[in-house]
Structure 1
Amino acid sequence: MSSPDAHEPLNVLVFSHRAEVREAITMAVGRRPAPDLGRVRYVEAGGMAEVLRAMDGGTIDLAILDGEAQPTGGMGVSRQLKNEIDDCPPIIVTVRRRDDRWLATWSQADAVIVHPLDPLTSAETVADVLRRSRSGELPALRG
C-alpha cells in the first residue's frame, strides 16, 4: 500500500458489477475528498478478477466495495481481502440500509457508507479513513 500525501494522487478502487453504482460512488466522493489529501484517481472494477489484480498490484490506497455487488458482494470481498493480503489497504463498504452496517463488522471493513450516498458524508468518511491509515491507526468503523 502506498502512503498518501497532499501532493500525490490517491488510487481508490471502486468495485461494483453495476457501472451506475461505481459512478454514484465516484461522484459522491469526488476528486478531492479533503484539502489535506491528494486528488483521487479511480480504478474501477466490475468483477472479482479486476479487484484481485488491482489489489495485488500494491498501488491501491483505499477500496470502496459495493455491498450489493453480484455475484460476489463487497462484504465477502472485504473479508477475503483483509484475511489474504498482508498490510491490506483500508476498505469502505457501501450498504443499502443503515441497519446493515453491522455486517461491515463481519466483513472487517474499516468504514461503511449508506445509500443514497451523501456527498459530504461520503467524502468525510473517505478522508477520515485515509488519514487514519496514513497515521497508522486502525480506523474505527464509522458511517
Structure 2
Amino acid sequence: MSETEAGAPQRESARGTVRVLLYSHDAGVREQVRLAVGRRPAADVAEVEFVECATEPMVWRKLRAGEVDLMILDGEAQPVGGMGLCRQAKDEIYRCPPTLVLVGRADDSWLAAWSRAEAVASHPIDPTDLPAKLAELIREHSNRIVASS
C-alpha cells in the first residue's frame, strides 16, 4: 500500500478489478444492484468487485482505509441516506472516490447534484441504465482508478 497526501493508505486494486463500495441498509437493493451490474458493467471496462456496506460506520471505515475505487450509495438508505453521506464524504475524504447515487425518483436528480455525486440513477433499478452509468463513471475516472488489465 502507498500513502495518500492525507496519510491514509491507498489500496491498489486487484488485477483487472474496480472495487465498488455499495451502500444500502436494504439487502434487496444491494442484490438488485449486483444483479443489474454483473461482473462487468460494459465490455470495455474492468470487472467490478462489490464491497457491501449496510451501515454508515462501515462506509467510513472503508473510505478512510482507501479500500474502494468507486461508490454506489442508496439515497433512500436508513437511517443515513446516501446523498447526505456523499456530500459529507466529498468534504472530508481526500480524493473521495467518484460516486453514483440512487435516488427514489428521477425528479430527485437535483438532490444528487447537491450531494456532489458524479452520476445518478433512480429506483427501481434499471438493469440497462445502471450498468451504463457505472461504466461511464469508470471510463471518466479511469486515471484515478488503479485497476489494471
Pairwise TM-score range, normalised by the shorter structure: 0.7 to 0.9
Q: Give the 3 Å change call, closer, same or farther, for CA 58–23 of structure 1 in structure 2.
A: same
Please point out which of 71, 75, 85 is paired with 1:67.
Answer: 75
SS in 2 for 1:119: coil
Q: How far did 1:3 drift?
A: 7.5
Q: Deviations over 1:12-58 (max 9, x none)?
A: 11001111111111111111011122211110000011101111121
Flag structure 2 segments of 5+ consecutive residues without an equivalent.
Answer: 1-9, 145-149
- Verify: 1:8 aligned to 2:45, yes or no: no
- Any conservation in 2 of the 1:110–1:129 contact (CA below 8 Å)? yes
1:23 corresponds in structure 2 to 31
User: Which residue of 129, 134, 140 maps to 2:142?
Assistant: 134
Residue of 90, 96, 102 corresponding to 2:98: 90
Q: Is the 8 A contact 1:13 1:64 kept in 2?
A: yes
* Corresponding residue pairs, total: 135
Are 1:48 and 2:76 counterparts?
no
Question: In 2, are the aligned partners of 1:29 and 1:122 still within 8 Å (CA)?
Answer: yes
Deviation, structure 1 residue 72:
0.5
AA aligned opposite 1:104: A
TM-score, normalization by structure 2:
0.84
User: Higher helix fraction: Structure 1 or Structure 2?
Assistant: 1
**What root-mean-square deviation, in Å, do the aligned CA atoms of Structure 1 and Structure 2 show?**
1.7
The amino acid of 2:95's aligned partner reads: D
Counting aligned pairs with the same residue, the percent is 47
TM-score by length of 1: 0.88
Higher RCO (CA < 8 A, seq sep 6+)? 2
Choose which of 75, 79, 82 in structure 1 pairs with 2:87: 79
> Closer, same or farther in 2 for the Cα pair 1:3/1:120, shift >3 Å?
farther
Q: 1:43 to 1:4 in 2, by over 3 A?
A: closer
How many angstroms apart in 1 are the aligned matches of 2:132 and 2:47?
A: 14
Decide which structure has the larger Cα Rg and report it: 2
Q: CA deviation at 1:2?
A: 6.2
